[in-house]
Amino acid sequence: MPDNAAFSRKYAFFALLILALAGSAGSFLRFGLVYGIPPGWGQFHNIIHAHSHTMFGWTILALMTLIWQRLPAYTGRPLPRGVRWQMAATLTFSLLQLAAFWPNGYGVTRIGSAELPLGAISAGLAGLTWFWFMALYWRATRDMTQQPHAMKLWNWAIVLLFIASMGAMAEPGLMAMSIENNFIKHLFLHLFLDLFTTGWLLLATFGAIIAYLEDRGSMVDLPSAKLLALFILPTFLLGMSPDLLQSWLFWVASAANLVVASLVAIYLYRFYLRRDDLPLLVKFGLLGLLVQIGSALLMIIPGVWAWGAGTLRIFYLHDMLLLWTSSALLGLLIARFGNLKSAWRSWTEWLWMGGVGVMWLALLLGGFVQWLPLSGRSLLTIAAWASVFIVLAAFMALRSFMPFDKCRATE
């Protein structure tokens, strides 16, 4: 194993711990949707903030771990000084958001005589560690003239993360300037949420998959990272509420989305050709991208976008964030740093796929409930119980990375 193996295993463990804890909050919410949140346990919308912000911490820490692990081999130099502190800060502030958002969301919490917006402060601090990561990455790679494809994808992923972070930073700015314009507020919200999800996460995870595959044989004829990133840029508009978006903007974003879908389809085909080299959970995650391609096509049928944005928003978000990104990242972390040949690992993977698959299906069917012989409540109950299996799998996966300094070859 390379020198930074123990470092990578430690952060793979902590990233997964965040997934398990934020997943527990998500599972609690799922049961809350069926039975209500027990009195004294907090309010639904505040816990959603706690869940979603912390989950972003899982994906970003997992990707940073994969990128930092691979970079020295590409640059031929050790990691820049400061990476260890940056990773510790990203971990701390990602986790802090769970506790900080839970009681009052973006509102203020009284601590002694002070009233502090704990959620906003913790999210701001977590965001600052993302900028720190971007600066360190730029320092490590700036003078490289020849870059492998994985790095080109990471470069553009980081550009999109930078733009998405600007969207997140705009929120307190708008509040300070007392700007109440609904269009502008939603514009910045989706600049963050959608560019983070379909921009940064997509490109960075593609880069991590390609870095993994290239260790086992070179990859050719991959679509340009720059082209993919540039066409992704306007697609965040499609996340906005249909009544806020003028039709010409919808058509610009839809046309760009079709190009993105075609480029993603080419990547998918290239990965399919290398399916024997891919970890099982990465293959499972790639199924989630088929939804992205399908929805890009369906969206141009009149009325479908407006209907889907209302009824399938949570399904689409979890298709991209849970089925696709989280499965792929979990698969890569286990394959790169986890213990090999473990029966425990196999149980973990199947439990994950079963839980995610059933929850995915229940959320999808929820959009069509009026035509089904099932009630909405039954589907919510199925989704809630499926989420227990996902969380269990995340806790079980933690064992793959222990002890940090040694990889057990067999169990």
CA distance 118 to 97: 8
Nearer to ligand HEM, 298 or 314 (CB): 314
The CB-of-166 to ligand HEM minimum distance in angstroms stands at: 18
What separation in angstroms does the CA of 410 have from each of 199, 326, 337, 342, 405? 38, 25, 14, 6, 16
Choice between 20 and 261, CB closer to ligand HEM:
20
User: Can residue 90 be called a binding residue for ligand HEM (CB under 6 A)?
Assistant: no
What are the E-state strand segments in 87-206?
109-111, 114-116
Residues between 97 and 116 that touch ligand HEM (CB under 6 A): none
> What six digits make up the tokens of 13?
């463990």
d(CA 195, CA 189): 10
Contact 286, 268 (CB under 8 A): yes
Question: Cβ–Cβ contacts within 10 Å for residue 301, how many?
Answer: 9
The distance of closest approach from Cβ of residue 363 to ligand HEM in the complex, given in angstroms and rounded to an integer, is 9
Q: Among all chains, which residue has been given the structure tokens 């700036």?
A: 142
Enclosing H/E stretch for 316: helix 313-318
The count of residues interacting with ligand HEM (CB under 6 A) is 21
- Crossing angle of helices 202-214 and 225-232, in 10° steps, is 160
Cβ neighbours of 392 (radius 10 Å):
18
Among 6, 34, 37, 48, binds ligand HEM (CB under 6 A): 48
Regarding 159 and contact with ligand HEM (CB under 6 A), the answer is no
Q: Which two tokens stand for residue 119?
A: 């959620």
Show the binding pattern over residues 309-338: x = contacts ligand HEM (CB under 6 A), - = does not.
-----x--xx--xx---x------------
**Least distance between ligand HEM and beta carbon 316 (Å):** 10
Q: x/- contact string, 3-42, with ligand HEM (CB under 6 A)?
A: --------------------x--xx-xx--x---------
Interaction pattern, residues 277-316, with ligand HEM; x per rule: CB under 6 A: -------------------------------------x--
Q: What is the DSSP letter of 110?
A: E
Minimum Å gap between C-beta 72 and ligand HEM is 27
Query: Shortest approach of ligand HEM to residue 203 CB, angstroms?
Result: 16
Structural contact between residues 143 and 191, judged by C-beta atoms closer than 8 angstroms: no
**Region near ligand HEM per CB under 6 A, out of 48-56, 170-178, 247-255, 330-338:** 48-56
Binding region for ligand HEM (CB under 6 A): 23, 26-27, 29-30, 33, 48, 51-52, 55-56, 59, 314, 317-318, 321-322, 326, 387, 390-391
